[in-house]
Chains A and B, each alone.
Chain A
Amino acid sequence: MTLTDTTPAPPAARTRSARKRLVPYWLLLPGVLWLLVFFALPMVYQASTSVQTGTLEQGFRVTWHVATYWEALAEYWPQFVRSLVYAGTATFLCLLLGYPLAYLIAFRAGRWRNLLLVLVVAPFFTSFLIRTLAWKTILADGGALVGALDALHVLDVTNWLGWTQGDRVLATPMAVVCGLTYNFLPFMILPLYTSLERIDGRLHEAAKDLYASPATTFRKVTFPLSMPGVVSGTLLTFIPASGDYVNAELLGSTDTKMVGNVIQSQFLRVLDYPTAAALSFILMAVVLLMVTVYIRRAGTEDLV
């Protein structure tokens, strides 16, 4: 634009301002190029792989075989539904368990606040696979926890609901959901804490002065104001949980396989790339759709 500008300016200044205008593009170039080549381009390759046919020996070729999508869905819809149900349940449990802790740290912790925050992040310092394996010990058959649940007749209820089988917790849906909830809890607590911590304490006093009971104050003041944290917390929990296959593999059984397990085994063991790519594409579409609808409904567009 500057070069075609009609206002006379010394040539040195002109090239200088043109160069200045290019600064943001130079700053963006390497990183954006990296994301385009290793994030966006692979999506194109994945889409192309999903409509290929062929065998591993003869190679795969694009034949626009869209039926792969229907075949994949027809065969693996149980794992799909299971992923969404498990991830949804885990997200709900994270909110239920995480909210009191975030609230405690934000309003009641006093000088213990920093210590509690460190303790929330502390589990990350040990590799999450090692910690997930520890649940195998905690939920072990005949272990203390399972024995206690059995004695309290909790297992009778969960058996009736189909979450556990007999006197086992390991290798049941309950173990997988418990692992998912455990693994993603910090991702719920931190955004909740951030939005709770921003709430002006005087609002609570005002509600109290207007004769609101603690429950009403929470329902009408605290919870609505913490909505941004609830929204980003649920997203940060649900998205990774829906694609997770670690918990289902380590804590579950063949009856608790999620869509991530299918994609992983199709890609790395069966080597049926088209089916795996189609499944991964569907998962991406479903998650993006749910996220978009959710963000619209919750009315917080500016998450980043």
Chain B
Amino acid sequence: MRRLRKNLVVIAGLLTLAYMLLPNVVVMLFSFNRPAGRFNYSWREFSTDAWRDPCGVADLCGSLALSLQIAAWATLGATALGTMIAFALARYRFRARGAINSLIFLPMAMPEVVMAASLLTLFLNMGVQLGFWTILIAHIMFCLSFVVTAVKARVMSMDPRLEEAARDLYAGPVQTFLRVTLPIAAPGIAAGALLAFALSFDDFIITNFNAGSTVTFPMFVWGSAQRGTPVQINVIGTAMFVIAVLVVVAGQVAAGRRKRTDVS
């Protein structure tokens, strides 16, 4: 009983973790289902049909490719613009600093549906054709603040003496930036870029408002919830999960090995 009480927090924590992971297990399991009707909600029998033909549903892989493409461009745009802002905020004193900080913070403190709706009113009033470009514009807009936050934290914690040292050793401003500043800021930029990619790839609410008839992967899943959910959706969800976990584990192992060789 005493041991139980001592480990209560461990038990509660693990139960929460189970709650968080249960849907992933269900998604994985049901990628091997052969559903009776159009919806893949109840188990019927084991089958690997969907795994053998992941693109077998019309438009599914097209929407996936589109989402990857948009996420790549949005990451590039948001990371470039966000990194520049982060450097300006972390390194320089200038006027209107408070206003710019608020402008960065507000998109993160706003329900997505509000940003989505207001951006749509802009496009409607301007008569802009909805599609690829309006999605990309929206994604860069809402990813920007997250990149700024990630990069700014890294640049702020950087030791300014490293750059002074570089300059004392006769490195020019460009050389100092490329050889010293950028490599140190790189983990922050990478974290911001990764976050932007994940946010853009999985965004539904803002995309739903500004996509017109263009179908991204989340839009495809949303539509299928009305028309019938093909098993292939689960296959893609599972594949993405497995690939991402493998990448993370590989990264951890590599980092661990590097640390060990550093010590020895």
* Interface residues in chain A, defined as those with a beta carbon under 8 Å from any beta carbon in chain B: 23-25, 27-28, 30-32, 34-36, 38-43, 45-46, 48-49, 97-98, 100-105, 108, 114, 116, 118-120, 122-138, 140, 182, 185-186, 235, 239-240, 242-246, 250, 260, 263-264, 267-268, 273, 276-277, 280-281, 283-284, 287-288, 291, 303-304
Are B109 and A246 within 8 A (Cβ)?
no
Given contacts A30-B84, A103-B13, A245-B205, contact A42 B118 (CB under 8 A): yes
For the complex formed, measure the closest distance between the CB of B252 and the CB atoms of chain A, giving whole angstroms.
6
A100-B9, A127-B217, A130-B27 are known contacts; what are 8 more A-B pairs with Cβ within 8 Å? A27-B92, A31-B144, A101-B17, A130-B237, A133-B41, A137-B30, A138-B23, A280-B117
Cβ proximity bits B198-211 to A, threshold 8 Å, 1 near / 0 not: 10001011001100
In the complex, what distance in Å separates the CA atom of A102 from the CA atom of B17? Answer: 10
For the complex formed, measure the closest distance between the CB of B208 and the CB atoms of chain A, giving whole angstroms.
7
B37: interface (CB < 8 Å): no
Most buried by B among A45, A246, A264: A45
Q: Which residues of B contact A136 (CB under 8 A)?
A: 41
Are B221 and A129 within 8 A (Cβ)?
yes
Are B16 and A97 within 8 A (Cβ)?
yes
Of A122, A264, A281, the contact of B208 (CB 8 Å cutoff): A264
Are A126 and B237 within 8 A (Cβ)?
yes
Are B85 and A31 within 8 A (Cβ)?
yes
For the complex formed, measure the closest distance between the CB of B85 and the CB atoms of chain A, giving whole angstroms.
4
Are B16 and A32 within 8 A (Cβ)?
no
CB nearest to A295 among chain B residues: B109
In the complex, what distance in Å separates the CA atom of A128 from the CA atom of B208? Answer: 14
* Interface residues in chain B, defined as those with a beta carbon under 8 Å from any beta carbon in chain A: 9-10, 12-14, 16-17, 19-24, 26-27, 30, 41-42, 81-82, 84-85, 87-88, 91-92, 94, 100-101, 103-115, 117-122, 124-125, 137-138, 140-141, 144-145, 148-149, 198, 202, 204-205, 208-209, 217-218, 221-222, 225, 229, 233-234, 237-238, 240-241, 243-245, 248-249, 252
Are A239 and B241 within 8 A (Cβ)?
no
Are A100 and B12 within 8 A (Cβ)?
yes
**Which 4 pairs show the lowest CB-CB distances between chains A and B?**
A243-B111, A104-B13, A24-B92, A31-B81
Of A30, A137, A185, A264, the contact of B16 (CB 8 Å cutoff): A185
For the complex formed, measure the closest distance between the CB of A200 and the CB atoms of chain B, giving whole angstroms.
19
In the complex, what distance in Å separates the CA atom of A138 from the CA atom of B144? Answer: 36
Given contacts A27-B85, A245-B113, contact A97 B19 (CB under 8 A): yes
Q: Which residues of B contact A246 (CB under 8 A)?
A: 204-205, 222
In the complex, what distance in Å separates the CA atom of A49 from the CA atom of B222? Answer: 28
Of A41, A185, A263, A264, the contact of B122 (CB 8 Å cutoff): A41
Are A39 and B125 within 8 A (Cβ)?
no
Are B225 and A133 within 8 A (Cβ)?
yes
Are B109 and A291 within 8 A (Cβ)?
yes
Given contacts A27-B87, A250-B225, A267-B117, contact A129 B204 (CB under 8 A): yes
